[in-house]
């Protein structure tokens, strides 16, 4: 029996340990569920720690609802306990896109990037920045992609923020999927443009190049 805040979860299994939150897999109403528990951090004052964990739990649950409303596949939210900093969500059966791309031929993986590009464009069109856009935060469930982990997501319509999202996924592709990086990026951007339109895509792409230029020439003191 594992105690997560005020809930005791039988047979809960830790599947991810993060700096801010631990994620468990366990039973919920006859099925499987993911339990995301923001743990107390000892270096923070108690009052501040509780306020931060509560605010971030409420914020993430709100972002999940916004993503759902935008029509982007994401886990169903079953239960929210702000006081205990706990989210209970649907467990999406599938494989991380990172693992699928690493073990599949390009003919299988490249269409996934095009589909992902369209999903990102849909988020941006609805004023949402994912904030942690990597292939580890996308689950391949049969023929669909499901986005997960909205702890860093924000509402924004700034082109700069949209370009930062694309910058992160671009870094992930070139770093983790170098063998298909060039074609994967082409597919991703094609998918983005197909949904966002040429004018919007060009605006975001220009901002992406500007961000990369600033990073390239930034001085480290």
Output the CA torsion 30→36→39→45 (10° steps): -130
Helix (H) or strand (E) holding 59: helix 46-70
Which tokens go with 188? 């991703």
**Which residues 6+ apart lie within 8 Å of 138 measured at CB?**
96, 97, 98, 116, 145, 146, 147, 148
* Residue among 204, 36, 177 at smallest CA distance from 120: 204
Residue 132 is among the residues annotated as catalytic for this protein: yes
Given the residues 62, 99, 132, 183, the one annotated as active site: 132
Q: Any idea which residues carry the catalytic annotation?
A: 132
């Amino acid at each position: 029996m594992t105690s997560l805040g005020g809930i005791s979860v039988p047979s809960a299994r830790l599947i991810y340990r993060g700096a801010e939150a631990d994620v468990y897999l366990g039973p919920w109403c006859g099925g499987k569920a993911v339990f995301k528990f923001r743990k107390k951090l000892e270096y923070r004052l108690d009052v501040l720690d509780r306020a931060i964990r509560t605010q971030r739990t409420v914020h993430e649950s709100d972002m999940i609802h916004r993503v759902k409303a935008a029509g982007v596949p994401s886990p169903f939210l079953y239960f929210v306990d702000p006081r205990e900093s706990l989210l209970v969500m649907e467990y999406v059966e599938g494989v991380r896109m990172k693992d699928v791309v690493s073990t599949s031929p390009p003919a299988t993986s490249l269409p996934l990037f095009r589909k992902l590009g369209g999903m990102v464009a849909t988020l941006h069109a609805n004023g949402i920045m994912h904030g942690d856009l990597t292939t580890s935060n996308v689950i391949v469930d049969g023929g669909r992609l499901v986005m997960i982990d909205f702890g860093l997501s924000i509402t924004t319509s700034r082109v700069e923020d949209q370009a930062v999202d694309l910058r992160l996924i671009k870094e992930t592709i070139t770093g983790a999927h170098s063998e298909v990086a060039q074609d994967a990026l082409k597919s991703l951007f094609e998918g983005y443009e197909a949904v966002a339109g040429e004018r919007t895509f060009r605006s975001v792409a220009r901002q992406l190049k500007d961000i990369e230029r600033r990073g390239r020439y930034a001085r480290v003191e």
